[in-house]
Amino acid sequence: MRSHIFPELLWQTVYDANHVAMTSQQGMKFARKLRKGLREPLLCSECEALIGRYEHYFAGVWLNPPVLPTQVSPDANAVHLSGLDYIKFKLFHLSIIWRCGVAQMPEFGNVKLGPHEPRLREMLLSGSAGTSIEYPLSAAVVIQPQTRKVMKDFLVTPQTAREQSGAKSYVGVYAGCLWRVGVSNHPSARPTPLKEDGSISMALVPVDFLPHIVRLVRQHVIYEDLKKRVN
């Protein structure tokens, strides 16, 4: 079965009026067009249904209706949310990291889970999200610096990041946020992960603070609208 690596629901805000998304990758000379999110043979029907439940929850609690504002007020420095289902919400994001880690497509080659792959797979199958410090999930809302508009219309596959402590994490952008999942045997010093009571505090990050995104955007003239927003 051809499975989505990033759920199709996350591509909906990326498609243009003609249902086309432009994708880019470091090392590619040209952007390419997609009419459907990146897929490959990956999951059986039972696993599709299991992960689909986490996707359905995220769609309902985050996207329909949208939980993030269109624009953040000038005096705000963070967005605070509560009432999330800790298990379903966290497993949705862990499912993305796991799928990226087992996928064969070059777009996801940065995600190398090693011994964490079977552990994450078991967590998804058993419905166990672990404690808040086990594969901790944190987020920041990505905004356009001049208008403070929340940038919900682009997606970045996970990239590797390391803290000074040596803690490893994967950072991706989708659904208006930069999401960070800790995948390390070293404890993370990062504050405000998703808490087990279903609350999360998300700082605001201007898109031009994310050099990887800016570099890809400036590489391809086809991203005219987005280029205007990061220059």
DSSP labels, 74-129: TT--EEEE----HHHHHHHHHHHHHHHHH--SGGGTT---TTHHHHHHHHHHHT--
Question: Would you place residue 187 in the very low, low, confident or very high pLDDT band (cuts 50, 70, 90)?
Answer: low
- Which has more confidence, 31 or 163? 163
Report the alpha-carbon distance of residue 28 to residue 31 in Å, rounded. 7
pLDDT at 151: 87
Burial class (CB in 10 A: 0-12, 13-18, 19+), 74: exposed
What predicted TM-score, i.e. pTM, was given to this entire model? 0.83
- Which has more confidence, 8 or 4? 8
Average pLDDT, stretch 145-166?
Answer: 84
Average pLDDT, stretch 48-74?
Answer: 92
Model confidence at 71: pLDDT above 60: yes
| Max mean pLDDT range (33-42, 45-54, 111-120, 215-224) | 111-120
Neighbours of 208 (CB within 10 A): 14
Average pLDDT, stretch 171-197?
Answer: 83
Average pLDDT of every residue of the chain: 80
pLDDT at 143: 92
| Max mean pLDDT range (11-25, 28-42, 88-102) | 88-102
Among 7-11, 126-130, 167-171, 184-188, the range scoring the smallest mean pLDDT is 184-188
